[in-house]
Amino acid sequence: MNKVASIELLRFISAFMVLVWHYQQFYLPYNPFSNLEIILSSRSIQPFYKLLNIFYNFGNKGVDFFFIISGFVFAHVYLSKYNNASFKTFFVNRFARLYPLHLLTLFIVLLLQTYSNKNFQIFLIYNFNDVYHFFLNLFFISGWGFENGPSYNGPIWSVSIEIIIYFLFFYLIVSFKNFRLLKSIVLVLSFICLRKVLSEEYLIYFPKYFLTCSILFFEGVLVYYLFLKFKNNLTLFSLGIILFILSLIGNFKIFMFLPSIIIIFLSLEKTITKKISRIFCFLGNLTYGTYLWHVPIQILIIIFIKEFDIGTAIFQSKIFFLSYIMLVFGFSQISFIFYEKKMRIFIREKFSKETSKN
């Protein structure tokens, strides 16, 4: 299945948003050795603030982008009339894609947090790093509402929620070929109504994140159908602009704003050359690695700076910021080529051999 270049670019942008947003983790309260705390009124001390202030202030919305992009990508792959994936194939593909890097980074963070706790009597960035939370992370359920707070490689919480949505997608949409579009619309409307009905007090827990992420994911499925329906670039672009305007004046703003951005990007898909497309796909391949590597790299940097008494003023340096960003991207690229791809192939081949034996 050919990748959609504009979507790959958006995947990279969403990962970069989270990366910049989490730069605050070099400061208090995440980094206990810093003498500066990042709050809304003091974010301007961060490197390149004037240029990146939107990402510094709203970069957490990159996670929302991940969900709607995932919905589009899954629809693009599994709702094709040529795709007849079984549940086993679907599950193996997801496991091979997500778990190897999660497991590796989980154990790396475990080692780093153990070192920090032994030498500094404190955990860095995320505090709930006990045996209980380790097993929540190990079994990919660290975002299901059982946790006491962020733990280990914290960003994995969103992936753990996405796993539940994967099963809903397969059993409610993929397994039954009839009325897929209608079912997707019903799911989006149902989740929106449920989110509206439940009290805010109840929604501060797991249901809020699950319902929000589910709405965004299945909106991504709907965007895929729009992409198939409207081949005219101008039509797609106009639809995206209309949704964008509605997002500024209506309720459920985020649920209109994010689809509008994706639709606008998709309207430009036919203008992207093959050379540019390859670049966008290269950038898209870095997203999962960027998402899971940046926290262990941050913890390692904080430990290094503390051990060598370099001083935390370095976190305000533009040179350090650029070096950190390049380090994360570099690790992500190495990880993708030499670990993620190889493990994905190994796991898929292993399960296919088991199937043939049976």
Q: Write out the DSSP string of 57-83.
A: HHTTHHHHHHHHHHHHHHHHHHSSTT-
* More reliable by pLDDT, 262 or 84: 262
Rounded to the nearest integer, the mean pLDDT of the chain is 87
Q: What is the pLDDT of residues 14-30, one digit of tens each?
A: 999 999 999 999 998 89
pLDDT, position 356: 46
Phi, psi of 86 (to 5 degrees): -80, 170
Query: Mean pLDDT over residues 231-237, rounded?
Result: 81
**Domain-wise residue ranges, the chain:** 5-357
Handedness of CA 130, 135, 138, 142 (dihedral sign): negative
> pLDDT by residue (tens digit) across 313-331?
899 899 999 999 999 999 9
CA dist 346 and 85 (Å) reads 19
Residue 165 has a pLDDT of 92
Alpha helical stretches, state H, 41-170: 49-58, 61-78, 87-120, 131-138, 156-169
